[in-house]
Amino acid sequence: MGRYIQVEENVKIYVEDLGEGTPVIFLHGWPANHKMFEYQFSRLPANGYRCIGIDFRGFGKSDAPWESYSYDRLADDVRTVIDELGVTDATLFGFSMGGAVAIRYMARHNGHGVKSLVLAGAAAPVFTKRDDFDYGMDPEEFTEQMIVAAFEDRPKMLTKLGLQFTKTKTKAGMMIWLQSLCLQASHHGTVKAALSLREEDLRSDLSKIKVPTVIFHGAKDKICEPNLAKLTSEAIAGSRIVMFEQSGHAMMFDEQAKFNEELLLFLNTEDLLRRSEDIDHVNAVSK
């Protein structure tokens, strides 16, 4: 079921809410929308999970204000959705830029309503190189290939991005479908969110994450290099990495069966642990 949630006076965010059970909140990558997770939305509800997909402002069916595409603002939108839906004990799932926003949410809002975290191909700790950070994309290269190219010919830019996005290059239909999702984004939202990708720094956020965390990453990722996953994991206490050896950036398409299996394994394990803790708490109170 889809609905709109007011996050600012003149801004509404589109949210898809499907299934019943433990909630899993999905944050999409740049410049797609929640529909990129349709192969999870078609499976998780059958396994007792409620799928909540958020279209970031400027993307998918959400409103596209001219300003306000910082990670802080996007994280605040997520907080409003969680509060409006009354969600508790959720797993927050963030892919690529969505992973970056998920990290900022956990730090900025102290993990409100979230009991576990999945980061998939996350654009973290920093997406572009800095004087003190020698990983990620070169900022000038990113500006030329993504931002300048979006102003000149957005469909062409998305086609080139798609060739790096997934290893399923022979699946022409899949590539066309993914590009169609990206073209649903507003032009200015695409550009301004890209500026956030280039400029934002999450290094100080990572140590504030205190929930069980798993990091999914493609070994052949050309957009967010695997070293970024290692650095992110080192900074999040107790986190672990699941590497997808045959995947590029989008492991949910390149190794779909393994991806869904690993996601369900993590979700089921966290549910069992939470139930065990609840039983222990009840037993302790009753003594």
47 band by pLDDT with thresholds 50, 70 and 90: very high
In 3D, which of 135, 253, 142 has the Cα closest to residue 201? 135
Range of the domain at 180: 2-286
**141 CB contacts (<8 Å, ≥6 apart)?**
none
Number of domains observed in the structure of the chain: 1
How much is the average pLDDT of 51-66?
98
Instruction: Quickly count: other Cβ atoms within 10 Å of residue 65's Cβ.
Output: 18
Q: Which residues are catalytic?
A: 96, 221, 249
CB 244 within 8 A of CB 254: yes
The predicted-structure confidence for 205-236, as pLDDT tens digits, reads as follows: 999 999 999 999 999 999 999 999 999 999 99
For the chain, the average pLDDT equals 93
Q: What integer is the mean pLDDT of 86-103?
A: 98
CA nearest neighbour of 249 among 101, 35, 98 = 98
85 pLDDT more than 70? yes
pLDDT computed for residue 283 by the predictor = 47
Q: What pLDDT band is residue 170 in, cutting at 50, 70 and 90?
A: low
Residue among 52, 38, 45 nearest 88 (CA): 52
Supply 11's token pair: 């801004």
Q: pTM of the predicted model, to two decimals? A: 0.94
Once rounded to an integer, what is the mean pLDDT over residues 115-139? 96
Residue range 12-33: mean pLDDT, rounded:
97
> Which residue from 60, 66, 65 is spatially nearest to 26, judged by alpha carbons?
60
With residue 206 as reference, give the H or E element that holds it. none
* Structure confidence by residue, pLDDT tens digits, 175-193: 889 999 999 999 999 999 9
What CATH number does residue 187 fall under?
A: 3.40.50.1820
Q: What is the DSSP letter of 238?
A: T
Return the pLDDT at 282: 43
Partners of residue 26 on adjacent β-strands: 53, 93
Q: What is the pLDDT of residue 76?
A: 98
pLDDT of 23 > 70? The answer is: yes
